[in-house]
Structures are given as structure tokens and as C-alpha cells.
């Protein structure tokens, strides 16, 4: 068996999409499972749609996700470098290579020059649509002699090169997810292989590159399935061995529609920015269209590599369920050390102006206690802000009428007076006092259970529910507790 070689070959026309990350992940898992090589190739032949920093974003996103590749494009000191024996790995640097093979197709009669204008092509397609036909090129230039075509090129006419498909020819190939597929060439267009700007189309470049880079398995999205017969035919006319094809199901939203920006987060950066952990996102994304035999749901990268196979990839589109992602990611947050989660939380607290960098450095123990208070309830790291912001404003606002009504119950004033008396005798609220204060209040007032804890929580936080109350007391400290009591008494209890 050949050494396994797979590739992820995105176009730098935008930031890496979550569906693209899954394609890269499946390529990576398959390569590592089979002791193969994983290559990153950049397909930038559509020069009109390039986004300036998309390539750097792509590389950074793969590195963040822990998806390591063996050959391709890397960034060192802010500059793109290429490593590997089959480069260049950027298609715009391979134009001479493609031109050589395009010329070979023309000379062998499997390709031809086409001089049709955009206006003519549009008119042909419009007419076909009116007749209820599938719009495709009508072969107008197929019969031009090579001599006539070269004369027109010499005279300065603009042209493209098309693939000359045979009539009524069945193209067979096997897909590891979808099984045996047969498509007749009468249902396929004479695809453009070389554009008028001298750049190849995807269909030409992908076949040449995959062959020259010795790719054994082409793993890509199912949107490329209709194009595969053209690629298979190119392999046949060149006399090259075909790779194995794997077309992955589309990543869909809950409405079973393709993920799009209109319906929420779709780029890897969106999830990074919200504080999803790479371990959580990668673990969940692997399960969107694939499942291990034991149906285990929490899997490290090493476990994913060990269990992954294309036989377990579904034909149906994978549903991207954010609630399930939150559950998986929350698991990793709870598994990680408090120190690591605090490091991840601090930038969000700083950005929200709850603390600054100097405070975080000088009061590390307090910040760790703050994060520890909500760590168990976090689904992603940016959520820490909404979970703890009540700790930073002593002007308590009631979350709803029920909270305000509870606050105004008959025992609240006695509870708050007892709390003030306890605090008057101490310099600060240490961890011991925070854990015994409520018992002391119960002893002083005779109020206990929910009648004690609920009004006290509402008085100091404005909410009926929240983090462990002893942690709140410790983190607030003496002066903040007294300030909150004073504010609540003046606004709600006078």
C-alpha cells in the first residue's frame, strides 16, 4: 500500500470557516491514524477574491486548533515560508507547471481553445434555461482546428482553454463515504481549465497538484462531488493513477441549512474570540458528521486519531448544535486547572473594564477566587464577564419583581443589621468568616434556611440565584458588603 498523503487546500478568500476546519481535521486525523503525511496547499488561482490577511489567519487557526501539517506554507517572523519536497505549495507560484499540462491536453486533442465572449455565454445559458435545459457550454468552439485557433491567438484574441469531454461516456469512481458513483459526460460541462488571465481553474490545478504531490486520498466537502467526474477524466487522459475520493457531508445549522454568517458564528475566529477552547471545539467538530464505534463523546486529539475512520462518516449533513458544543467545551473548562482558566479569563475581564492588567497581577489570588466561583458554570470563556460583573457594582438593582418582593420581606432588616454588627468587629472578611457568617446571623436573629439565605443573597447581589454565597461574601469583602447594605436599605427598605 502506498504511503498515505492527504491535503487541505483552502482558498485565501476569507477567514477559515468552521466547515473548513472540520475538513482539515478529518484529513489530519486520517493521516495520523495511518502514519501518513498531511499537506497544506494554498489554492489562490482566483486572484479577484483574495483577502489580504486570510493566509496568515488560516495558518494561525490551524495551529490554534492543534492541527499540525507536515508540508506546506508556514509563517515565521511574520513572513510566509514553504517547507517540503513537492513545492511550491501556493498555486499562483506554479503557473508554468499548469501551462505545460494544458498544452499537453491541447496537443493530444483532449483540450481546446475557446474564444466565446461572456455576452455569448450568458445568452446561451439564458436560452437553455428558457427551454428547461441544464445550463452549460454548447461546444461552439470544439470544432475549431488547432491551426485556426493559434492564428486567432496570434491576432490578439482573448481565449480560454476548455476540457474536451467525450460524448456519452460513463465516468466511474468510488467514494469512501458515498460508494460507487457513475456520471455520464453528456450531463457535464466542457469545463474551463485555463482562464484568460493565464491562471488555471480549480479543476485543472487540483488534478495536477494532487498528482505531482502524490496525494493518495482527496478529502473535501460534498459540494465538489459534481466536479469529480471531470477530475477523474483528466487523470485518465494523462494516464495517471487516481486518488481515493472522500466527500464529506456539509456542516448544517439546526434548521438543516448551510452555516452562514446571517445565522451566527461561522469562522474559527468567531469561536476563538468568544473563548471556546481549541480542545472543546475540535472535540465537538469531529462529531459533526462522524462518530466512534463506542459513541464516546469526550475525546482528546490522541483519542480522535486512534478511533477515526471514514467508514464512520455519515452521508447526511452534520448538524452543528451550539448547545452541544457548549456542553463539550464546558467539560474542558472544568477539567483544566484554575490557573489556566484564570489566565484565559483575565483578557475578557480587562476588555470589559472590570479589572486592569495591573490589578490582575497584584491581586492574582483574588482573581483566581473570582474565576473559581463561576468556573463550573462556564460554557465558554467570554461568558465569565456576565457571570461576575455583579461583583463590581455596589449599586444593587433587583433582577425582577420577585427578587424585590423577597427583599422587602419582614426578616430582611434584622438580617442586615446582624450582618453589620458582625462586620463591625472584624478588619476584613476572611475565608473562615465567610463560611461561618450566615450561622452567626441565624444565631442572632433566629431566622434560618431559605428565609435567611434568599433575602441575604438578593440584598447583596440583586438575584435569587447565583454562585456559592460564601465565595461571594469572601470576594466582596467588608467594605463592599457594607456599601451594598447601605444602598439597598436607602433604596428599597426605607
How large is the average pLDDT for residues 439-446?
Answer: 96
Examine the domain organization and report whether 87 and 100 are in the same domain. Answer: no
What does each C-alpha distance from 141 to 106, 156, 229, 260, 351 come to in angstroms? 13, 17, 22, 39, 61
Q: Is 54 left (phi over 0), alpha (psi -120 to 50) or beta?
A: alpha
Examine the domain organization and report whether 298 and 259 are in the same domain. Answer: yes
Yes or no: say if 115 and 141 are a contact pair by the CB < 8 Å rule.
yes
Examine the domain organization and report whether 161 and 209 are in the same domain. Answer: yes
Question: What is the total count of domains within the chain?
Answer: 4
Examine the domain organization and report whether 108 and 188 are in the same domain. Answer: yes
How large is the average pLDDT for residues 199-215?
Answer: 97
Confidence of residue 51 (pLDDT cuts 50, 70, 90): confident
CA–CA separation, 326 vs 333, rounded Å?
A: 10
Q: Which residue has the higher pLDDT, 105 or 316?
A: 105
Q: Answer whether residue 262 shows pLDDT above 60.
A: no
Q: How far out from the chain centre does Cα 45 lie?
A: 24
Q: What pLDDT, on a 0 to 100 scale, did the predictor assign at position 264?
A: 60
Examine the domain organization and report whether 122 and 15 are in the same domain. Answer: no
Q: What pLDDT, on a 0 to 100 scale, did the predictor assign at position 52?
A: 87
Q: Is there a domain that residue 118 lies in?
A: yes
What does each C-alpha distance from 224 to 227, 423, 427 come to in angstroms? 5, 70, 70
Confidence of residue 430 (pLDDT cuts 50, 70, 90): very high
Query: Which among 248, 269, 298 is the end of a domain?
Result: 248
Q: Is there a domain that residue 331 lies in?
A: no
* DSSP β-ladder status, 5-8 and 37-40: parallel
Query: Which among 319, 344, 373 is the end of a domain?
Result: 319
Look up residue 45 and give its three cell numbers.
488561482
Q: Is there a domain that residue 327 lies in?
A: no
Yes or no: say if 204 and 234 are a contact pair by the CB < 8 Å rule.
yes
CA–CA separation, 274 vs 283, rounded Å?
A: 17
Query: Which among 199, 231, 248 is the end of a domain?
Result: 248
Q: What pLDDT, on a 0 to 100 scale, did the predictor assign at position 367?
A: 98
Q: Answer whether residue 47 shows pLDDT above 90.
A: no
Examine the domain organization and report whether 82 and 99 are in the same domain. Answer: no
Yes or no: say if 244 and 6 are a contact pair by the CB < 8 Å rule.
no
Q: Is there a domain that residue 432 lies in?
A: yes
CA–CA separation, 329 vs 277, rounded Å?
A: 7
CATH number at residue 348: 1.10.8
What does each C-alpha distance from 162 to 100, 150, 190, 232 come to in angstroms? 15, 15, 6, 15
Task: Tell me the average pLDDT of the chain.
Answer: 95
CATH number at residue 311: 3.40.50.620
Report which of 180, 173, 177, 319 is spatially closest to residue 248, judged by C-alpha positions. 177
Look up residue 390 and give its three cell numbers.
455583579
247 CB burial (10 A radius; 0-12, 13-18, 19+): buried
Q: Answer whether residue 134 shows pLDDT above 90.
A: no
CA–CA separation, 36 vs 163, rounded Å?
A: 33
Yes or no: say if 92 and 44 are a contact pair by the CB < 8 Å rule.
yes
Look up residue 15 and give its three cell numbers.
477567514
CATH number at residue 440: 1.10.10.350
Give tens-digit pLDDT for 264-275.
Answer: 668 999 999 999
Examine the domain organization and report whether 25 and 125 are in the same domain. Answer: no
Report which of 377, 406, 84, 102 is spatially closest to residue 238, judged by C-alpha positions. 102
- SS (HEC) of 353-369: CCCCHHHHHHCHHHHHH
Examine the domain organization and report whether 382 and 430 are in the same domain. Answer: no
Q: Answer whether residue 436 shows pLDDT above 90.
A: yes
Q: Is 66 left (phi over 0), alpha (psi -120 to 50) or beta?
A: left
Give tens-digit pLDDT for 72-82.
Answer: 999 999 899 99
Using the structure block, give the residue that is written with the C-alpha cell 486520517.
30
Measured at the CA of 20, the angle between CA 15 and CA 22, to 5 degrees, comes to: 135
353 CB burial (10 A radius; 0-12, 13-18, 19+): exposed
The residue from 261, 340, 361, 491 that is catalytic is: 261
For the question of residue 261 being annotated catalytic, the response is yes
Report which of 422, 433, 443 is spatially closest to residue 485, judged by C-alpha positions. 422
Q: Is there a domain that residue 13 lies in?
A: yes
Examine the domain organization and report whether 310 and 342 are in the same domain. Answer: no
Yes or no: say if 331 and 298 are a contact pair by the CB < 8 Å rule.
yes
Q: Answer whether residue 460 shows pLDDT above 60.
A: yes
Q: Is there a domain that residue 107 lies in?
A: yes
CA–CA separation, 281 vs 340, rounded Å?
A: 17
CA–CA separation, 178 vs 456, rounded Å?
A: 62
| Residues 6 or more apart whose Cβ sits within 8 Å of residue 210 | 7, 218, 243
Q: Is there a domain that residue 324 lies in?
A: no
What is the value of pTM for the model shown? 0.93
CA–CA separation, 369 vs 14, rounded Å?
A: 40
Confidence of residue 1 (pLDDT cuts 50, 70, 90): low
Examine the domain organization and report whether 122 and 204 are in the same domain. Answer: yes
Examine the domain organization and report whether 377 and 488 are in the same domain. Answer: no
How large is the average pLDDT for residues 403-428?
Answer: 94
Q: Is there a domain that residue 326 lies in?
A: no
Confidence of residue 310 (pLDDT cuts 50, 70, 90): very high
Examine the domain organization and report whether 228 and 301 are in the same domain. Answer: no
Rg (C-alpha) for the chain, rounded Å, is 32
Helix (H) / strand (E) containing 188: none
Domain enclosing residue 412, as ranges: 401-493
Amino acid at each position: 500500500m502506498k504511503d498515505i498523503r492527504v491535503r487541505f487546500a483552502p482558498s485565501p478568500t476569507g477567514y477559515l470557516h468552521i466547515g473548513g476546519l472540520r475538513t482539515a481535521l478529518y484529513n489530519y486525523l486520517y493521516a495520523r491514524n495511518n502514519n501518513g503525511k498531511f499537506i497544506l496547499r494554498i489554492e489562490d488561482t482566483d486572484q479577484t477574491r483574495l483577502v489580504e490577511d486570510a493566509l496568515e489567519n488560516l495558518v494561525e487557526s490551524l495551529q490554534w486548533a492543534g492541527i499540525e501539517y507536515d508540508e506546506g506554507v508556514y509563517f515565521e517572523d511574520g513572513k510566509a515560508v514553504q517547507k517540503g519536497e513537492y513545492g511550491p505549495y501556493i498555486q499562483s507560484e506554479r503557473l508554468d507547471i499548469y501551462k505545460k499540462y494544458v498544452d499537453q491536453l491541447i496537443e493530444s486533442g483532449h483540450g481546446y481553445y475557446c474564444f466565446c465572449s461572456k455576452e455569448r455565454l450568458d445568452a446561451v445559458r439564458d436560452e437553455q434555461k428558457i427551454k428547461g435545459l441544464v445550463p452549460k457550454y454548447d461546444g461552439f468552439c470544439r470544432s475549431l482546428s488547432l491551426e485556426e485557433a493559434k492564428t486567432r491567438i496570434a491576432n490578439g484574441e482573448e481565449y480560454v482553454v476548455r476540457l474536451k469531454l467525450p460524448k456519452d461516456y460513463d465516468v466511474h469512481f468510488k467514494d469512501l463515504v458515498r460508494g460507487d458513483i457513475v456520471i455520464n459526460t453528456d450531463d457535464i460541462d466542457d469545463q474551463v481549465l485555463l482562464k484568460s488571465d493565464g491562471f488555471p481553474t480549480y479543476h485543472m490545478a487540483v488534478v495536477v497538484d494532487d498528482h505531482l504531490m502524490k496525494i493518495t486520498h482527496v478529502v473535501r466537502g460534498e459540494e465538489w462531488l459534481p466536479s469529480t467526474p471531470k477530475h477523474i477524466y483528466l487523470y485518465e487522459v494523462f494516464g495517471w493513477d487516481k486518488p481515493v475520493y472522500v466527500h464529506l457531508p456539509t456542516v448544517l445549522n439546526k434548521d438543516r441549512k448551510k452555516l452562514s454568517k446571517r445565522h451566527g458564528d461561522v469562522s474559527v475566529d468567531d469561536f476563538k474570540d468568544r473563548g471556546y477552547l481549541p480542545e472543546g471545539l475540535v472535540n465537538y467538530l469531529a462529531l459533526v458528521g462522524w462518530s466512534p464505534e463506542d459513541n464516546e463523546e469526550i475525546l482528546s486529539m490522541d483519542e480522535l486519531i486512534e478511533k477515526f475512520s471514514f467508514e464512520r462518516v455519515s452521508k447526511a449533513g452534520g448538524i452543528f448544535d451550539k448547545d452541544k458544543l457548549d456542553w463539550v467545551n464546558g467539560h474542558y473548562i472544568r477539567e483544566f486547572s484554575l490557573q489556566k482558566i484564570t489566565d484565559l479569563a483575565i483578557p475578557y475581564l480587562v476588555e470589559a473594564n472590570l479589572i486592569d492588567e495591573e490589578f490582575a497581577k497584584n491581586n492574582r489570588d483574588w482573581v483566581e477566587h473570582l474565576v473559581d466561583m463561576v468556573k463550573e458554570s462556564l460554557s465558554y470563556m467570554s461568558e465569565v464577564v456576565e457571570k461576575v460583573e455583579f461583583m463590581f457594582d455596589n449599586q444593587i438593582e433587583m433582577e425582577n419583581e420577585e427578587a424585590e418582593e423577597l427583599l422587602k420581606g419582614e426578616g430582611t432588616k434584622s438580617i442586615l443589621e446582624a450582618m453589620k454588627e458582625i462586620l463591625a468587629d472584624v478588619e476584613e472578611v476572611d475565608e473562615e468568616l465567610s463560611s461561618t457568617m450566615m450561622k452567626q446571623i441565624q444565631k442572632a436573629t433566629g431566622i434560618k434556611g431559605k428565609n435567611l439565605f434568599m433575602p441575604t443573597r438578593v440584598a447583596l447581589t440583586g438575584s435569587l440565584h447565583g454562585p456559592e454565597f460564601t465565595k461571594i461574601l469572601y470576594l466582596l469583602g467588608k467594605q463592599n458588603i457594607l456599601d451594598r447594605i447601605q444602598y439597598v436599605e436607602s433604596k428599597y427598605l426605607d
